[in-house]
Chain A
Amino acid sequence: MTIKPGEIAIVGAAESTRIGTVPDMSQIMLHADAALNAMADAGLKPSDIDGFACVGPMMPQQLVHYLGITPKWVDGTGVGGCSFMLHVRHAAAAIHAGYCSTVLITHGESGKSRINATPRPPEPQSLQGQFEMPFGPMGPPTLFPIPVLRYMKTYNVTHEHLAQVAVVQREWAAKNPRAAFRDPITIEDVLNSRMIAYPFRLLQCCLVTDGGGALILTSADRAKDFPQKPVYILGSGESAEATMVSQMQDFTSSRAFRVAGPEAFRMAGIKHGDVDHLMIYDAFAHLPLYGLEDLGFVERGAAKDFIWEGHTRPGGKLPLNTNGGGLSYTHTGMYGMFALQESVRQVRGIAPAQVPGVEISVCHGVGGMFSASGTVVLSNQRP
């Protein structure tokens, strides 16, 4: 039997107690801190969990041992910062298949304090080590924006358009006490901030923080017995393209987005007009533009005007990245978990910058430099 929209629900969700700079927790403890908070949210103990997922460098076996969990289903899918969207999708399938009944998904990353964080530069024998690293990239700020100039030329996107993305997200962050940056900024502030990798300046690049998050999933039939209002998973999608940004097929669009997004909509049986709230993983300022277009919310090339005209800002018709996003809220390195947390909060109706009447939220993640993608559709109503 095919999995049905709303058959699986999120019944526990929490971030680590603190995010930002957390110098008194190692990476594994950031996972555990979030896991303990999510279990408290769901009223569960480690012995109630029988499925577990997390993404490397932390392996699932490290966490199940640390937390005292005996899993009969394990997933270590690691495709970068959207791995959690894939974990949600895989966990839903596993629960549907009867492999397990209650899945815990954790994230923890000491991205800023770097306590037991393991940076892994590409091996010189890997394809990226041979065909990208010799030309001077140094991490995501030098790689992720590589397609941007081509996108700008193709669709007449200006530096001001790309600055506006950061300005609008700061408007959301201003409403969120946990956001790292809350002071309002202008387009001029963005365009006068320090140049990192042209065309992007500091305020168009994500934060680097410490933090964690965790989710607990079970079947919707059991979900009504939990203390929190269930958040139903209506649909999901996933895909992958290339490790090397230089090899993405189309510099103005992500193939992985174009596969994952529509699949999630198809599975959920929803149309774009049904979406009340949207999260698009914003490691850098161009991501929301690509996401809006590749998920079909607007035509190709129309995202710049959609954001410019205010449709994604507070009070707009499609509230986007309402926690402030990776640009202003937090970004540990693998931000996808925080995008999911915000979607859950909005659907539960408890977000700091709550959008009135959210029923359906779409949460879209990217992994690596357009390497992979995962999309999850959440709702507080079971179809």
Chain B
Amino acid sequence: MSLEPGRPRPEPTPETRHFWDGAREGKLLLQRCKDTGKAYFPPRPFSPYTGSRNVEVFEASGRATLHSYVIHHRPVPGFKPPYAIAVVELEEGPRMMTNIVDCPQTPEALVLDMKLEVAFTKMDDEITLPLFRPAKGA
């Protein structure tokens, strides 16, 4: 799948660069608080649970479930309405906003808690977006 031109482009910062570098290489990188063992997102070089800087980057499984979404019916540059703006819950716990691809953008097809898997989609040479699609065999 390829992206329509005009989609807003994220600009990595020093604290998020590893996430976007990982996505470009096909890896969904999260961070974990080493004191509590809990994963978190979005990226930051310290634990939102304890305030400790004792954290590490790790590769997530890419498996998720559909937590909630809207289906937008109005035109937006870079998108063909109707399109779903979704929030998925990763297997490791954190949630992230994304789009669901390889799936009709309808309430009938987009069922809450359905199993999903990450579908990395190239935007340009630097940015690859972690989109999600229905999990194979689900």
Q: Is the CB of A134 within 8 A of B10?
A: yes
Q: Is the CB of B11 within 8 A of A129?
A: yes
* Residue with the greatest number of chain B CB neighbours at <10 A, chosen from A130, A143, A153: A130
Residues of B within 8 A of A132 (CB): 97
Q: Is the CB of B70 within 8 A of A124?
A: no
Residues of A within 8 A of B18 (CB): none
Q: A146-B87, A251-B67 given as contacts; is B10 within 8 A of A197 (CB)?
A: no
By beta carbon, the residue of chain B nearest A147 is B68
Interface residues of A in 169-223 (CB under 8 A from B): 194-200
Residues of A within 8 A of B107 (CB): 198-199
Interface residues of B in 31-76 (CB under 8 A from A): 41-42, 67-74, 76
Q: What DSSP secondary structure best describes chain A's contact surface?
A: mixed
By beta carbon, the residue of chain A nearest B106 is A198
Q: A130-B10, A131-B96 given as contacts; is B73 within 8 A of A195 (CB)?
A: yes
Interface residues contributed by chain B, number (CB under 8 Å): 36
From the candidates A125, A153, A199, name the one contacting B70 in the complex (CB within 8 A).
Answer: A199
Residues of A within 8 A of B73 (CB): 194-198
Chain B nearest CB, measured from A102 CB (Å): 41
Interface residue? A246 (CB, 8 A):
yes
Q: Is the CB of A131 within 8 A of B82?
A: no
Q: Is the CB of B8 within 8 A of A134?
A: yes
Residues of A within 8 A of B97 (CB): 131-132, 135, 137, 146, 244, 246
The answer for the CA separation of A198 and B98 in the assembled complex, in Å, is 16
Residues of A within 8 A of B7 (CB): 134, 136
Q: A131-B42, A142-B72 given as contacts; is B85 within 8 A of A153 (CB)?
A: no
Interface residues contributed by chain A, number (CB under 8 Å): 37
Chain B nearest CB, measured from A72 CB (Å): 36
Interface residues of A in 118-154 (CB under 8 A from B): 121, 123-125, 127, 129-138, 141-143, 145-150, 153
Q: Is the CB of A125 within 8 A of B98?
A: no
Q: Is the CB of B112 within 8 A of A149?
A: yes
The answer for the CA separation of A129 and B64 in the assembled complex, in Å, is 22
Q: Is the CB of A246 within 8 A of B95?
A: yes
Residues of B within 8 A of A194 (CB): 73
Q: A142-B85, A146-B68, A150-B112 given as contacts; is B74 within 8 A of A196 (CB)?
A: yes
Residues of B within 8 A of A131 (CB): 10, 41-42, 96-97
Interface residue? A47 (CB, 8 A):
no
Q: A135-B85, A136-B7 given as contacts; is B74 within 8 A of A149 (CB)?
A: no
From the candidates A130, A137, A199, A251, name the one contacting B42 in the complex (CB within 8 A).
Answer: A130
The 9 closest A-B pairs by CB, nearest first: A130-B10, A198-B71, A150-B68, A246-B97, A197-B70, A133-B8, A124-B11, A125-B11, A136-B79
Given contacts A124-B11, A133-B10, A148-B68, 18 further A-B contacts (CB under 8 A): A125-B13, A129-B10, A130-B20, A131-B42, A134-B8, A134-B10, A135-B86, A136-B76, A136-B79, A141-B74, A146-B97, A196-B72, A196-B73, A197-B72, A198-B70, A198-B107, A200-B70, A246-B87
A-B contact pairs, 25 of them (CB 8 A): A124-B8, A125-B11, A125-B13, A129-B11, A130-B10, A130-B20, A132-B97, A133-B10, A134-B8, A134-B10, A134-B123, A135-B98, A135-B99, A137-B85, A142-B70, A142-B72, A146-B85, A147-B68, A149-B69, A195-B73, A196-B73, A197-B73, A197-B85, A198-B107, A246-B87
